[in-house]
C-alpha cells in the first residue's frame, strides 16, 4: 500500500493504518482500499513513479478474492502468516535441518509425512489403518506348500 498513497508528511502512515483497518473489519475492505487509492491518485496526482502505483494496484486487484479478511476472521481462520511460519519451523526445520543431515526429496517427504502424523497425535490411528490395508501373510507348511485351510 505504500506506493498507492501519497507520501505527504504524516499522510501515508495515517492512510495506511486506516486502509489496514478497512481490510480487517469491512466486508468490502479491499474494494474500499482500491477505491481510496484511485480517488487519491485523481485528487493529488502521484508522488513517485506511476509504474509503482500501477503495479501495486494491479497486485491487489488481482488478489481481491483472497483478501476477504473479515469473512475469514468471522470463521476463526488465521489471517496472518504466523501460524504457517510456526508450523514450518516445527514440522520442517526442527527435523530436517539438524547438523550433518542431508535428504533426498523423496526421503525428506516420508520423514515430513511421518512427523505430521506424530505431531497431530494420530499416529496410532494411522498405524492401525496401515496395518489393516496390508495383505495377510500366508502360513506355510514344512514342505513349502501353503496351508489353505488356515486361511
Domain extents for the chain?
A: 11-74, 82-133
Is the pLDDT confidence value at 116 over 50? yes
Helix (H, G, I), strand (E, B) or coil at 126: helix
At residue 2, the pLDDT reads 46
Of residues 130 and 19, which shows the higher confidence score?
130
Global pTM exceeds 0.85:
no
Residue 7 CA to its chain's centroid (Å): 32
| DSSP secondary structure, 10-31, as one string | THHHHHHHHHHHHHHH-TTHHH
Among 51-55, 110-114, 142-146, which stretch is predicted with the lowest mean pLDDT? 142-146
CB 70 within 8 A of CB 29: yes
At residue 5, the pLDDT reads 61
Give me the residues paired with residue 145 across strands. none
- 149: pLDDT confidence band, cut at 50, 70 and 90? low
- The tens digit of pLDDT for each residue in 60-113 reads 889 888 888 888 888 988 888 888 888 888 888 888 888 888 889 999 899 889
Centre a 10 Å sphere on the Cβ of residue 70 and count the other Cβ atoms it contains: 17
Which residues neighbour 123 within 8 Å (Cβ) at sequence distance 6 or greater?
A: 117
- 20: pLDDT confidence band, cut at 50, 70 and 90? confident
Is the pLDDT confidence value at 4 over 80? no
Region 19-46: mean pLDDT is: 82
Amino acid at each position: 500500500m505504500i506506493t498507492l498513497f501519497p507520501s505527504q508528511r504524516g499522510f501515508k502512515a495515517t492512510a495506511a493504518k486506516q486502509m489496514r483497518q478497512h481490510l480487517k473489519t469491512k466486508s468490502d475492505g479491499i474494494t474500499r482500499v482500491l477505491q481510496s487509492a484511485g480517488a487519491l491518485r485523481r485528487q493529488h496526482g502521484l508522488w513517485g513513479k506511476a509504474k509503482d502505483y500501477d503495479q501495486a494496484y494491479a497486485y491487489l486487484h488481482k488478489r481481491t478474492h483472497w483478501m476477504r479478511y473479515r469473512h475469514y476472521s468471522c470463521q476463526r481462520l488465521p489471517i496472518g502468516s504466523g501460524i504457517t511460519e510456526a508450523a514450518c519451523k516445527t514440522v520442517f526445520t526442527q527435523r530436517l535441518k539438524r547438523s550433518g543431515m542431508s535428504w533426498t526429496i523423496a526421503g525428506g517427504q516420508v520423514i515430513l509425512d511421518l512427523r505430521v502424523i506424530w505431531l497431530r497425535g494420530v499416529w496410532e490411528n494411522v498405524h492401525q489403518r496401515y496395518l489393516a490395508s496390508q495383505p495377510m501373510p500366508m502360513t506355510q507348511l514344512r514342505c513349502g506348500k501353503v496351508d489353505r485351510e488356515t486361511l
